[in-house]
C-alpha cells in the first residue's frame, strides 16, 4: 500500500476530539429533531446528555499531564483546559437536566438543546485558545447561542426584552474587546498570547498609553462576560427574563470559561502589566462584591437575587486571579467548581418548585416548604448556607481558598473587604432559609416529580456537603490542573 | 501477667454499643428489644469486669495506650487504660450496680414514652463512668468526668415536660461547671508543670517537683505548685461529689427518675471525686494543705448534711442528704490518708445506698408516685420484700455490725481519731462521730415512718397498694446481699483495711506515706478482735440513734411535733437546708441576673441592636440596596452608559496613576 503524502503537514486533531464530537452531535440533534414526532422530542435532550457524557470521557482520555498543541499552536489542551472543560460540560449537563420538565411544552425543543451544545462548544474552544482570534471565535459562538437561549420563550415579553438587552450590550462589549485586541496587535504584531506577552515585555515607556488602552478595553470586554461590576447591568434583567434552566446554565458555564480565558490571557499575554491589571481587578472585585451583595438584599425575585449573588461571587473569584500564583489560580478553580454545584443545586430547587400559573420565583413562594417537602427544604438550606460560606459546606472552603490566597499574596485589605461583604451576603441567603423553615405556607405547593431531577438535587447536596467535609481532594485536583500554565 | 486488651475494651464498648443502638433506633424498637439490648450489654460488661477483677486479684494488671487522639506540638493526648486494683474494684462496683439498676428499670419505667431513650442514657452513662475509672491519663478522666455530668444532666431532666425537672437539671449542670472549672485548671496546671498528662509519668515526677519547691503566686498568695494542682482538682471533686458549698444540686437531682438517683446520684457518679482523690494519692500525699482541705470540707459536709437529713419529709431527699453526708465521710477518709478505707466505704456505700434508693423507688411506685413519708406508714404489710431489703439497707447505713456500712465507717472514724493533722483532724473526728448518731436516727426515722407508725396512705393509693414485680424485687435482693456481705468480704477476704500497703488489697495502686498512714498507728494501738466494736463509741452512737428513732417514730407519738415546737427556729433552719439555696440566690444568682439584664436591655438591645445595627449598619446597607435598585432602570442606554463610565473611569485611573 502506497504511503499517502500530504502537501502540508496534517494538523494534529486528537486534542480537539471532544470539540469535534460536540460539534457533530449538535448538528445531528438539530436535524434529528425535525424527523421526530412531537411526543418523542424529549429524546433530543437525552441525546444531548449522552453527547456531554461522551465529551467528558473524550476530555478525560485526551487530557494528559503535558500541554498538547493542535492547529499549529492555536489550540492547546493542557490540564487547565481539561479541568475547566469538565466544569463547563458539567454545567451543561445540569442545564439540560433542569430543562427536561421546564421546557417540555416548547416546540422544536431539539433546537434548544443543540443551541446549548453549540454554546458549550464555544466555551470549550475558548478555554483552549492560545490566540486572540480563537478566543474571540469561541466567545462569540457562546454568546450568540446564549442570546437566542435567553429569548427562547418568544411569546413571553420579559424573555424577549431580556434577550434584546443582552444582545445589544453584549455586542458593545464585543466591540470593546476587539478594540482592545487591536491595540495589542498594533503594538506587538501578533495575536498569539505568548508572542504578545514577549512583545509587550520589551516595549519602552513611551507606548504605555496604548498599552493601557488595550488592557482596559480587553478587561472591560471580558468583565462583561463574567458580569463584573460595573459591566454587570445586563445580568439581573437577563437572569430574570431567561428560562430558569438557562439562567442556571449562564450563571455558571460562561463564568468558568470567562475566568479560565482571563487567567490564560493575563498569564501568557499580559505578564509585564501585572501591577496594572491587579489594580484594575481590585477595583472590579470590590465593586462587584459590594454591588452584588448589597443589591441582592433589595430583591424579592429569587432569580434576580441569585443574579446579584453571582455578581458578588465573581468578585470573590476575581480575588483568586488577583492573588495569582499557583495558590491564587487554584483557589479560583476551587471556587468555580464549588460554585457550579451549589448554584446549580439552588436553581434545581427553584425549577422543581414551578407550579401551573404561579412561577416559583418569588421569595414568598418558599414559605413553609419545610413542612411540605422536608427533603427539598434541607437541600435548599444546604445550598443557601454553602453560598453564604458557612462551614462545613463546600462554599466555605471556596471562600477560604480565595481569601487565604489573597492574604498570602499581600492583599490583606481586599480579603478583609471580602469577609465584610460575605457577612452582608449571609443575610439574604439565610433569609431564604428563614422563609423555608419559619414561615407559614400560603399557597399549596406543586412539585415536579421528575426522578432524574430529584436524583440531581440529592447528588448535588451530597457533593456540597462532601466537599465541605473533605475539601482536600478537590484542592489537590485544582492544584494539579495548573500543571500546564503556571 | 497482663490482661487481654480485647476483654478490657469490650467492657466499656458493650454499654456504648447498646446505648447507640437504642439511642439511634429507639423510635423503631419495642420496649422489650430496647431493654434486652441494654441489659445484655451491661450484664456482659459486669461479667467481664468480675472476670478482670479475679485476674487482678491474681496479680494481673494492664497499662498502656490504645491510640492517640490528638497531637498538638508537645501536647499529646493518648487514650489508654490503666487497670490495677483500684480501677478493678471500681469497675466491678459500677457495672454490678448498673446491671441491677438496668433490670430494675424494666419494671420502674414500664410504659414511659421515653423508655428507649432512658435505657440509651443509662447505658451511655455506664460507658462514661467506665472510661472515667479505666483511663490512664487526665484526658480520659476529664472525658469521663464531663460525660457522666452530661448524662446526669440529661437524666435529671428526663421528664423534660416538668418545669422543676428542667430547673434541677440546669442547677446540677451549672453547679458542676463551677467545679469543673477548677478541675480543668488543675489538669492544665498538671500539664504545665509535668509536660504530660499520663498518670504514671506524672506520679513519677511528683517527688522531683516537690523537692524543687516550685511555687506560684496565686492572687497574692504564695502557693506551692503541688498544692495548687491538688486544690484545683479537688474543687472539681467538690462539684461532682456534692461537697459543701457545691452540694446544693444533689438533693434537687432527685427530680430524676429513681433508678437514676440510685445509679448516678448515689452509687457511681457522685463518688467520682473520691475515686479521683484516691487515684491521685501520689499527688495529694505531698500537699499537707490539700489533705487538710479535703478532710475539713468532707467533715463539714458529713455533719451538715446529716443535720438536714434529720427533718426532711421527702423519702428521696432524706436518702439524698444521707448520700452527701456519706460522701463527706469518704473524703474525710482520703483526707486523713486512709484512701483505701475511703474507697472501701465507696464500695459498701454503693451497695447499700443503691439498695435504699431502689427500695424507696419501689415504695414510691406502690403508693402512686407519693414521696412524702408523712403520707405513708404501715407499708410492711403490703410490701414484705421491699420492707426486708430496705431494713437491711437501713441497718447497713446506720453502721450496725456485721452489715457493710459498719466495717467501712468504723474504720474511717478510727483512722480520723489517730491521724494527727492539728485542728483539721480534730474537727473531722467530732463531726464524723456525731454524724453516726444522726445517720442512724434519720435513717430509721424514715424507715419507721414508711413501714411502721400509723397508716396514713390516702384511699386512692391504697386501692393500688401491692408488692412490686420481680424485675424490681430481684435487684433489691441482689443489692441486699451486697449490703450484708460487702463489708465483711472487704476486710476479711480482700484485706482492704490492712495497714501496710504491701499487705493491703490495693498494694501499689494507692500511695501513702508511712508517716501519714493512720492505719499503721491504728494497728499499733492494739488488736482487732471481732468483739472489738463493743468498746467503740460509733457502735453505741448508732444503737442510740436507732433507739431514739424507735422511741419517737415506731408508733405515732407527739414527741416530734413537741420538739419542733420547742425549737421552731432550728427546725425551720434545718428544714430549709441551712438556707443555702436562698443565700446562693441572693448573693450569686440575683446579681448575675441583674447584670445580665442590664447588658441585655441596655447593651445588646439598646446599643448594639438599636444604635449600631439598626441605626448604623443595617440602615446604610438598606439605603445602599435601594439606591442600587434605582440604578437598575431597565433602559439599555443606561446600562451601556454604565459600561462606558466604567471604561472611562478605569482608563483615567490608570493613565493618571502611572
pLDDT digits (tens, 9 = 90+) for B370-399: 888 888 888 888 899 999 999 999 999 998
Q: Does B651 touch chain A (CB under 8 A)?
A: yes
| Averaged confidence pLDDT in chain A | 91
The lowest-confidence range among A147-156, B98-107, B604-613 is B604-613
With contacts defined as CB-CB under 8 Å, which chain B residues touch A295? 625, 628-629, 632
Distance from CA of A345 to the nearest CA of B (A): 26
CB-CB under 8 Å, B643 with A220: yes
Q: How many CA atoms lie within 13 A of B605 on its CB side?
A: 6
B2: which 3 cell numbers? 497482663
With contacts defined as CB-CB under 8 Å, which chain A residues touch B655? 209, 212
Cα B262–Cα B264–Cα B270 angle in degrees, nearest 5: 115
Mean pLDDT of A447-461: 89
- Cα of first residue to Cα of last residue in chain B, in angstroms, is 82
Distance from CA of B612 to the nearest CA of A (A): 15
Pick from A215, A297, A301, A318 the residue to mutate for testing the B interface (most B CBs within 10 Å). A297
Q: Does A230 touch chain B (CB under 8 A)?
A: yes
User: How would you class B127 by CB atoms within 10 Å of its CB: exposed for 0-12, middle for 13-18, buried for 19 or more?
Assistant: buried
Q: What would the pLDDT profile of B445-465 be if each residue is shown by its tens digit?
A: 999 999 988 888 888 888 888
Distance from CA of B141 to the nearest CA of A (A): 30
CB-CB under 8 Å, A168 with B640: yes
Is the confidence at residue A322, as pLDDT, over 90?
yes
Is the confidence at residue A356, as pLDDT, over 80?
no
Distance from CA of A38 to the nearest CA of B (A): 37
List A residues 160-219 in contact with B (Cβ-Cβ < 8 A).
164-165, 168-169, 172-173, 176, 208-209, 212-213, 215-217, 219
Q: Does A361 touch chain B (CB under 8 A)?
A: no
Q: What are phi and psi of B526, to 5 degrees?
A: 145, 170
Distance from CA of A230 to the nearest CA of B (A): 6
Task: Read off the pLDDT band of B501 (50, 70, 90).
Answer: confident
3-class DSSP state for residue B513? coil
pTM of this structure: 0.70
Distance from CA of B136 to the nearest CA of A (A): 32
Task: Determine what percent of chain B is predicted with pLDDT higher than 90.
Answer: 52
How far apart, in whole angstroms, are the C-alpha atoms of residue A419 and residue B60?
Answer: 59
Mean pLDDT of B194-215: 89
Which chain B residue's Cα is nearest to A240? B634
How far apart, in whole angstroms, are the C-alpha atoms of residue A293 and residue A200?
Answer: 37
Which of B559, B610, B96 is CA-nearest to residue B355?
B96
Task: Read off the pLDDT band of B508 (50, 70, 90).
Answer: confident
Which chain A residue's Cα is nearest to B620? A294
With contacts defined as CB-CB under 8 Å, which chain B residues touch A294? 621, 624-625, 628
Q: What is the pLDDT of residue A354?
A: 64
- The minimal CB distance from A280 to the residues B625, B632, B654 is found for B654
Distance from CA of A444 to the nearest CA of B (A): 30
Mean pLDDT of B250-269: 89
With contacts defined as CB-CB under 8 Å, which chain B residues touch A298? 622, 625-626, 628-629
Q: What is the pLDDT of residue B148?
A: 94
Mean pLDDT of B155-159: 92
CB-CB under 8 Å, B639 with A234: yes
Task: Read off the pLDDT band of A80 (50, 70, 90).
Answer: very high
Mean pLDDT of B523-528: 66
How far apart, in whole angstroms, are the C-alpha atoms of residue B641 and residue B638?
Answer: 5
Is the confidence at residue A385, as pLDDT, over 90?
yes
Is the confidence at residue B490, as pLDDT, over 90?
no
Q: What is the pLDDT of residue A205?
A: 66
Distance from CA of A271 to the nearest CA of B (A): 17
CB-CB under 8 Å, A230 with B643: yes
Distance from CA of A102 to the nearest CA of B (A): 26
A109: which 3 cell numbers? 425543543
Pick from B614, B623, B632 the residue to mutate for testing the A interface (most A CBs within 10 Å). B632
Which of A89, A255, A241 is CA-nearest to residue A166?
A241
Q: What is the pLDDT of residue A486?
A: 66
Mean pLDDT of A11-38: 92
With contacts defined as CB-CB under 8 Å, which chain A residues touch B625? 294-298
Mean pLDDT of A188-209: 86
- Look up the ipTM and state it: 0.87
Pick from A288, A295, A423 the residue to mutate for testing the B interface (most B CBs within 10 Å). A295
Distance from CA of A238 to the nearest CA of B (A): 11
Return the higher-pLDDT residue of A225 and B220: A225
Q: Are B301 and B244 in contact (CB under 8 A)?
A: yes
Q: Are A403 and A415 in contact (CB under 8 A)?
A: yes
CB-CB under 8 Å, B645 with A294: no
Q: Does A295 touch chain B (CB under 8 A)?
A: yes
Mean pLDDT of B271-275: 94
With contacts defined as CB-CB under 8 Å, which chain B residues touch A208? 658
Query: Angle between the A79-102 and A451-469 helix axes, to the nearest 10 degrees?
Result: 140
CB-CB under 8 Å, A298 with B629: yes
CB-CB under 8 Å, A212 with B643: no
Q: Does A24 touch chain B (CB under 8 A)?
A: no
CB-CB under 8 Å, A294 with B650: no
Pick from B612, B618, B654, B657 the residue to mutate for testing the A interface (most A CBs within 10 Å). B654
- How big is the A-B interface in CB pairs under 8 Å? 82
Mean pLDDT of B220-242: 91
Task: Read off the pLDDT band of B575 (50, 70, 90).
Answer: confident
With contacts defined as CB-CB under 8 Å, which chain A residues touch B636? 164-165, 168-169
Which chain A residue's Cα is nearest to B642? A230
Task: Read off the pLDDT band of A206 (50, 70, 90).
Answer: low
How far apart, in whole angstroms, are the C-alpha atoms of residue B599 and residue B593?
Answer: 10
CB-CB under 8 Å, B632 with A233: yes
With contacts defined as CB-CB under 8 Å, which chain B residues touch A296? 625
Q: Ranked by mean pLDDT, which of A437-441, B250-254, B272-276 comes out on top?
A: B272-276
Q: What is the pLDDT of residue A483?
A: 77
Is-cis flag, bond preceding B245, omega within 30? Answer: yes
Task: Read off the pLDDT band of A484 (50, 70, 90).
Answer: low
Q: What is the pLDDT of residue B621?
A: 83
Q: Does B642 touch chain A (CB under 8 A)?
A: yes
Q: What would the pLDDT profile of B390-435 be if each residue is shown by its tens digit?
A: 999 999 999 888 888 888 888 899 889 888 888 888 999 999 999 9
How far apart, in whole angstroms, are the C-alpha atoms of residue A33 and residue A41?
Answer: 7
Q: Does A157 touch chain B (CB under 8 A)?
A: no
Amino acid at each position: 500500500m502506497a504511503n499517502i503524502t500530504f502537501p502540508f503537514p496534517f494538523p494534529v486533531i486528537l486534542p480537539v476530539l471532544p470539540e469535534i464530537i460536540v460539534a457533530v452531535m449538535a448538528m445531528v440533534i438539530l436535524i434529528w429533531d425535525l424527523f421526530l414526532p412531537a411526543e418523542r422530542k424529549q429524546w433530543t435532550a437525552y441525546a444531548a446528555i449522552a453527547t456531554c457524557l461522551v465529551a467528558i470521557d473524550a476530555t478525560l482520555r485526551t487530557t494528559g499531564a503535558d500541554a498538547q498543541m493542535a492547529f499549529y499552536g492555536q489550540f492547546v489542551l493542557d490540564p487547565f483546559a481539561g479541568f475547566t472543560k469538565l466544569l463547563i460540560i458539567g454545567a451543561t449537563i445540569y442545564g439540560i437536566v433542569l430543562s427536561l420538565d421546564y421546557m417540555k411544552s416548547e416546540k422544536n425543543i431539539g433546537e434548544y438543546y443543540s443551541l446549548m451544545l453549540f454554546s458549550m462548544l464555544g466555551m470549550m474552544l475558548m478555554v483552549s485558545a492560545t490566540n486572540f482570534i480563537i478566543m474571540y471565535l469561541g466567545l462569540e459562538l457562546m454568546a450568540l447561542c446564549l442570546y437566542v437561549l435567553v429569548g427562547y420563550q418568544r411569546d413571553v415579553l420579559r424573555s424577549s426584552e431580556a434577550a434584546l438587552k443582552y444582545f445589544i450590550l453584549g455586542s458593545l462589549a464585543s466591540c470593546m474587546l476587539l478594540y482592545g485586541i487591536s491595540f495589542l496587535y498594533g503594538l506587538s504584531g501578533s495575536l498569539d498570547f505568548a508572542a504578545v506577552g514577549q512583545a509587550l515585555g520589551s516595549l519602552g515607556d513611551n507606548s504605555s498609553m496604548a498599552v493601557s488602552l488595550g488592557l482596559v478595553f480587553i478587561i472591560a470586554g471580558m468583565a462583561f462576560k463574567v458580569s463584573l461590576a460595573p459591566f454587570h447591568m445586563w445580568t439581573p434583567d437577563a437572569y430574570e427574563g431567561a428560562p430558569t434552566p438557562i439562567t442556571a446554565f449562564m450563571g455558571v458555564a460562561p463564568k468558568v470559561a470567562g475566568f479560565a480565558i482571563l487567567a490564560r490571557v493575563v498569564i501568557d499575554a499580559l505578564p509585564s502589566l501585572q501591577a496594572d491589571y491587579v489594580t484594575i481587578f481590585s477595583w472590579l472585585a470590590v465593586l462587584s462584591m459590594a454591588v452584588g451583595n448589597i443589591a441582592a438584599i433589595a430583591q424579592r425575585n429569587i432569580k434576580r437575587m441569585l443574579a446579584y449573588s453571582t455578581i458578588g461571587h465573581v468578585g470573590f473569584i476575581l480575588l483568586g486571579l488577583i492573588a495569582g500564583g499557583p495558590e491564587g489560580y487554584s483557589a479560583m478553580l476551587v471556587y468555580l467548581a464549588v460554585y457550579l454545584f451549589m448554584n446549580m443545586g439552588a436553581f434545581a430547587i427553584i425549577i422543581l418548585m414551578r407550579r401551573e400559573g404561579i412561577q416559583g420565583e418569588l421569595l414568598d413562594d418558599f414559605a413553609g416548604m419545610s413542612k411540605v417537602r422536608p427533603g427539598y427544604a434541607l437541600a435548599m438550606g444546604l445550598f443557601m448556607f454553602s453560598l453564604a460560606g458557612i462551614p462545613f459546606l463546600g462554599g466555605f472552603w471556596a471562600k477560604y481558598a480565595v481569601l487565604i490566597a489573597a492574604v498570602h499574596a499581600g492583599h490583606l485589605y481586599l480579603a478583609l473587604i471580602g469577609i465584610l461583604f460575605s457577612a452582608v451576603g449571609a443575610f439574604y441567603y439565610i433569609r431564604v432559609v428563614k422563609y423555608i423553615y419559619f414561615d407559614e405556607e400560603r399557597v399549596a405547593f406543586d412539585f415536579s416529580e421528575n426522578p432524574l431531577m430529584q436524583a440531581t438535587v440529592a447528588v448535588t447536596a451530597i457533593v456540597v456537603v462532601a466537599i465541605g467535609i473533605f475539601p482536600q481532594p478537590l484542592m489537590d485536583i485544582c492544584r494539579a490542573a495548573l500543571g500546564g500554565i503556571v | 501477667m497482663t490482661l487481654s486488651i480485647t476483654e478490657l475494651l469490650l467492657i466499656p464498648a458493650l454499654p456504648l454499643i447498646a446505648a447507640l443502638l437504642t439511642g439511634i433506633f429507639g423510635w423503631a424498637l419495642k420496649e422489650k428489644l430496647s431493654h434486652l439490648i441494654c441489659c445484655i450489654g451491661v450484664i456482659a460488661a459486669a461479667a467481664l469486669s468480675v472476670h478482670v477483677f479475679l485476674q487482678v486479684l491474681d496479680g494481673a494488671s494492664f497499662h498502656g495506650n490504645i491510640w492517640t487522639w490528638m497531637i498538638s506540638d508537645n501536647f499529646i493526648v493518648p487514650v489508654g487504660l490503666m487497670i490495677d486494683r483500684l480501677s478493678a474494684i471500681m469497675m466491678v462496683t459500677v457495672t454490678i450496680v448498673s446491671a441491677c439498676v438496668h433490670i430494675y428499670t424494666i419494671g420502674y419505667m414500664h410504659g414511659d414514652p421515653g423508655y428507649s431513650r432512658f435505657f440509651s442514657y443509662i447505658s451511655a452513662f455506664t460507658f462514661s463512668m467506665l472510661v472515667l475509672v479505666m483511663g490512664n491519663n487526665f484526658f480520659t478522666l476529664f472525658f469521663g468526668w464531663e460525660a457522666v455530668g452530661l448524662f446526669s444532666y440529661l437524666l435529671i431532666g428526663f421528664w423534660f415536660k416538668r418545669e422543676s425537672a428542667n430547673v434541677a437539671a440546669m442547677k446540677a449542670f451549672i453547679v458542676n461547671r463551677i467545679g469543673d472549672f477548677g478541675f480543668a485548671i488543675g489538669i492544665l496546671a498538671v500539664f504545665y508543670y509535668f509536660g504530660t498528662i499520663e498518670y504514671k509519668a506524672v506520679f513519677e515526677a511528683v517527688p522531683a517537683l516537690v523537692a524543687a519547691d516550685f511555687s506560684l503566686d496565686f492572687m497574692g498568695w504564695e502557693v506551692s505548685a503541688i498544692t495548687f494542682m491538688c486544690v484545683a482538682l479537688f474543687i472539681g471533686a467538690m462539684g461532682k461529689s456534692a461537697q459543701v458549698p457545691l452540694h446544693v444540686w444533689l438533693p434537687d437531682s432527685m427530680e430524676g427518675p429513681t433508678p437514676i438517683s440510685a445509679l448516678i446520684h448515689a452509687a457511681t457518679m457522685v463518688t467520682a471525686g473520691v475515686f479521683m482523690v484516691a487515684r491521685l494519692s501520689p499527688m495529694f500525699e505531698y500537699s499537707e494543705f490539700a489533705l487538710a482541705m479535703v478532710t475539713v470540707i468532707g467533715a463539714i459536709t458529713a455533719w451538715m448534711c446529716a443535720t438536714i437529713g434529720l427533718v426532711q419529709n421527702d423519702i428521696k431527699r432524706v436518702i439524698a442528704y444521707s448520700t452527701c453526708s456519706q460522701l463527706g465521710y469518704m473524703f474525710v477518709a482520703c483526707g486523713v490518708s486512709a484512701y483505701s478505707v475511703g474507697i472501701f466505704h465507696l464500695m459498701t456505700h454503693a451497695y447499700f445506698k443503691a439498695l435504699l434508693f431502689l427500695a424507696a423507688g419501689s415504695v414510691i411506685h406502690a403508693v402512686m408516685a407519693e414521696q412524702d413519708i408523712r403520707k405513708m406508714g404501715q407499708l410492711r404489710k403490703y410490701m414484705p420484700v421491699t420492707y426486708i431489703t430496705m431494713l437491711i439497707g437501713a441497718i447497713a447505713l446506720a453502721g450496725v455490725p456485721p452489715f457493710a456500712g459498719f466495717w467501712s465507717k468504723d474504720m474511717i472514724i478510727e483512722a480520723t481519731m489517730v491521724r494527727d493533722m492539728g485542728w483539721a483532724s480534730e474537727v473531722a473526728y467530732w463531726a464524723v462521730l456525731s454524724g453516726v448518731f444522726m445517720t442512724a436516727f434519720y435513717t430509721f426515722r424514715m424507715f419507721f415512718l414508711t413501714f411502721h407508725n400509723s397508716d396514713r396512705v390516702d384511699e386512692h393509693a391504697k386501692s393500688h397498694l401491692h408488692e412490686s414485680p420481680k424485675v424490681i424485687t430481684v435487684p433489691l435482693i441482689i443489692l441486699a446481699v451486697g449490703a450484708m456481705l460487702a463489708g465483711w468480704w472487704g476486710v476479711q477476704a480482700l484485706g482492704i483495711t490492712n495497714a501496710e500497703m504491701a499487705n493491703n488489697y490495693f498494694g501499689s495502686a494507692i500511695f501513702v506515706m508511712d508517716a501519714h498512714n493512720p492505719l499503721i498507728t491504728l494497728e499499733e494501738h492494739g488488736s482487732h478482735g471481732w468483739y472489738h466494736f463493743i468498746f467503740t463509741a460509733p457502735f453505741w452512737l448508732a444503737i442510740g440513734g436507732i433507739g431514739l428513732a424507735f422511741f419517737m417514730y415506731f408508733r405515732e407519738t407527739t414527741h416530734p411535733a413537741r420538739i419542733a415546737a420547742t425549737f421552731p427556729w432550728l427546725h425551720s433552719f434545718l428544714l430549709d437546708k441551712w438556707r443555702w439555696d436562698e443565700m446562693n440566690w441572693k448573693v450569686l444568682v440575683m446579681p448575675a441576673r441583674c447584670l445580665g439584664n442590664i447588658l441585655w436591655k441596655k447593651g445588646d438591645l439598646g446599643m448594639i441592636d438599636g444604635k449600631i445595627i439598626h441605626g448604623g449598619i443595617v440602615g446604610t446597607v438598606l439605603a445602599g440596596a435601594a439606591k442600587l435598585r434605582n440604578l437598575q432602570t431597565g433602559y439599555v442606554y443606561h446600562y451601556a452608559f454604565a459600561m462606558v463610565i466604567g471604561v472611562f473611569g478605569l482608563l483615567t485611573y490608570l493613565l493618571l496613576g502611572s
